[in-house]
Amino acid sequence: MILVINPNSDQAVTDGLAAALVPYGPHFHCISIPDSPATISTAEDVARSGLRVLEVAAEYPRARAIITACFSDPGLDLLRAAGRTAFGIQECGILTAMARADRFGIIALSPRSVPRHTVRMRQMGVLDRLAGEVALSGASALEAGTSPVVLEETLEAGATLVSMGAGAIVLGCAGFAPRRRLLEERLGVPVIDPAQAAAVMALGAVLA
C-alpha cells in the first residue's frame, strides 16, 4: 500500500486526489488530516502540517511508500530522515515536467505561495530550468478544481507561462487534479498533475 497524505483537512480535495489516482491501480490509500487548515497557505501551515504528516505516517508502519500531497512538500525531509520511502508532489511534479520540456512553469494558488516554492526549487537546483511561476489571486485548494472563475484565471496563468517559454506546466496544488486534462487541451503543452507524478514515481519504487 502507498499512503497518500493530503496535509490539509478538506476531504473533497482528498476525494479528488483519489479519483486522479484511479488509473494507476488499487495501490493508493488517500487520507486527510482533519485538524489541519483547509488550505496550506503560510510557512507556519507548512511547518505544522509537516510534523502532522510525520505523526500520521507513523500510524501506517506497513505503508511501502508515502506521498505528501501538498505542493510545499510538508514533512518530506522528516519522512526521509525517519527512514521512510517518501515522495513530495512539488519535487515529483517538477522532475516530471523537466522530463517533458527544457523549461517549465508553475501555477500557484496565491502570490504568498511563490516564495515557499522558490526555496524548494533552490534546494533542488532547478531554478535555471524555470520559465516562471504565475500566481492566481488567492484560490483555495478546493476552488482550484471546482470553481469556474478560478478555471478561467488558471487558463490565463497557463497562457502567460507558455508566452514566457514554458514547454510544460506544473499545477501548484493537488486541488487542481480534476482540471489537468482540460488545461492541457486548452493550453497545448503538457500539464503535470504533481500528485499523479508522485504516484508514478512511488509505484516505480515499490513495484520494481
CA distances 55 to 52, 58, 121, Å, are 5, 5, 26
Provide the CATH number for the domain formed by 2-89+196-207 in this structure: 3.40.50.1860
CA distance 174 to 154: 14
pLDDT score, position 199: 95
Residue matched to cell numbers 534546494 = 123
Provide the CATH number for the domain formed by 90-193 in this structure: 3.40.50.12500
Per-residue pLDDT tens, the chain, 208 aa: give them.
Answer: 999 999 877 788 888 888 889 999 899 999 988 877 666 767 788 888 888 999 999 999 999 999 999 888 999 999 999 999 999 999 999 999 999 999 999 999 999 889 989 999 999 999 999 999 999 998 888 898 899 999 999 999 999 999 999 999 999 988 898 899 999 999 999 999 999 999 999 999 988 7
Cell, residue 195: 500528485
Which string of DSSP letters, residue by residue, matches 12-40?
Answer: HHHHHHHHHHGGG-TTEEEEE-TTS-SS-
Contact by Cβ (8 Å): 81, 110: no
2-89+196-207 and 90-193 agree in CATH topology: yes
pLDDT score, position 20: 86
pLDDT score, position 47: 81
Sequence ranges of the domains in the chain: 2-89+196-207, 90-193
pLDDT score, position 37: 67
